Structure 1
C-alpha cells in the first residue's frame, strides 16, 4: 500500500467539490488526517499504538519507498520524541502541518489545483478545484462499493471506514450509503484489524468528541 494513501484518500472523501473546500471543519479534518497517517504507518509496521494508547516508533519501521511529506512528518516527529505521547497529543501537534502537507501532495500530484476567485466586495477567495476527476472521486467510490459488497473490503478500505466512524462522519458517504450501515460495518471491522488500529480508533473517537465541530453540509 502506497505511503500516504490513507490520508490522501480521507481528504478526498471529505472534499466538497461544489464548495471547493473540505466538507469538514478544519479541526475535525486535521484529526482525521493525523489518524489516517498514523494508521498508514501502523499498518506498514513503522508505528504501533501501545496498550496505554501512546504512539510508538518501531525499531525496524521505516517510511518505505515513495514516502511522502505527510508520512515523513509524522514518523520523524514520533521517532525523535524522547517519550511516547497519546494519539490526541499528536493530533494537537501535527494537525495543521499535516493538513497542509496532504493538500500540497494532492496539488503536486495534479489531483487538485489551487484557484482564486473574487467574492463579495471584490475580496479574493482561495478554492481547491478538481483537475483529475477520476483520481479525486476514486477513494469515495471505492469505499462506497466495498460497503455495498463487504466481501470486497481491503485492509485499506476497512481502516478508512474505521477512521471515518471514529470521527463520527459516516454521513460523508451519503446519500448512497446509510450511516447506520457504515457504522455497523466499522464496528465489525475493528475485530479483524491489527490491535494498534483498534487503539487508534479509541484515541480518535475521544479527540473528535472533544472538538465542537461538525460536518459542513
Structure 2
C-alpha cells in the first residue's frame, strides 16, 4: 500500500459526501488523522510507541525517508524533538496542519475538489466534491469487505479498523456494518497487530476521550 494511505484513507472514510465535508467534528477528525499517520509510520518502521504511550523515532528514521508531505511533517516533528511525547500531545500539536495537508493532497491528486457556492444571503460556502469516485470510495469499500471477511484483512486494513474503534466512530461504517460487529473485529485484529499499534490505539483512545469532553463543554 502506498505511503500515507492510512491517513488519506481515514479522511475519505470520514467524508460525508452529500454534505461535502467530514462527518466528524474537526478535532476528532484531526485525532484520527494523526493516529493514522503515526500508525503508517509505525508500520513503515520509522516510529514506535512505548509502554507509556510515548512516540519515539527508530534508528532507521530520517527526515528524508519520505516524500509524502503529511508523513514528513509528523516524522520530522518527532525526530527533531529533544524528548519523546505521548500520542495526545502529537494530536494537539499536529492535528490542524495535518488535516490541511491531507485535504490538499487529495485535491492535488484529483480525488476531491473544493467547490465554492453562495448561500441565500450571498455568503460563500465551500464544500468538498468527489471527482474520482473509485478512488474516493475504495478505502471504505475495502474496509467494509474486510470486516465481513476477516480472513482478507491486511495490516493496513486491520490498523484502520482498530483506529476507528479507538476513536469510537464505528458509525462511519454503518449501515452495512453495525457497531458491535466493528468493535468485535477490531478486538480480534488487535491481537494480531504489532505491539506498538496496540499502544498507539490506547493513546489515541485517551486523546479521543479528551476531545469528546472538550467538544461537549
**Would the TM-score normalized by the shorter structure come out above 0.5?**
yes
Please state how far the C-alpha of 1:67 moved relative to its aligned partner.
Answer: 3.0
TM-score (normalised: structure 2): 0.95
Unaligned runs of at least 5 residues, structure 2 = none
Distance change (3 Å), C-alpha of 1:213 and 1:29: farther
Give the Cα–Cα distance (whole angstroms) in 2 for the partners of residues 134 and 63 of structure 1: 32
- What corresponds to 2:199 in structure 1? 199
TM-score (normalised: structure 1): 0.95
- Deviation larger for 18-27 or 205-214: 205-214
8 Å CA contact retained: 2:63, 2:76: no
SS at match of 2:61: coil
8 Å CA contact retained: 2:66, 2:72: no
CA RMSD of aligned residues (A): 1.5
8 Å CA contact retained: 2:42, 2:197: yes
Unaligned runs of at least 5 residues, structure 1 = none
Please state how far the C-alpha of 1:213 moved relative to its aligned partner.
Answer: 7.2
8 Å CA contact retained: 1:116, 1:124: yes
Structure 1 runs of 4+ aligned residues shifted over 2 Å read 61-67
Please state how far the C-alpha of 1:61 moved relative to its aligned partner.
Answer: 2.4
Residue by residue, what CA displacement relative to the aligned partner does 1:75-95 show, whole Å, maximum 9, x if unpaired?
000000000000000000000
SS at match of 2:182: helix
Q: Count residues with an aligned counterpart.
A: 214
SS at match of 1:120: coil
Give the Cα–Cα distance (whole angstroms) in 1 for the partners of residues 185 and 155 of structure 2: 13
- Deviation larger for 114-123 or 6-15: 114-123
1:79 partnered with 2:72: no
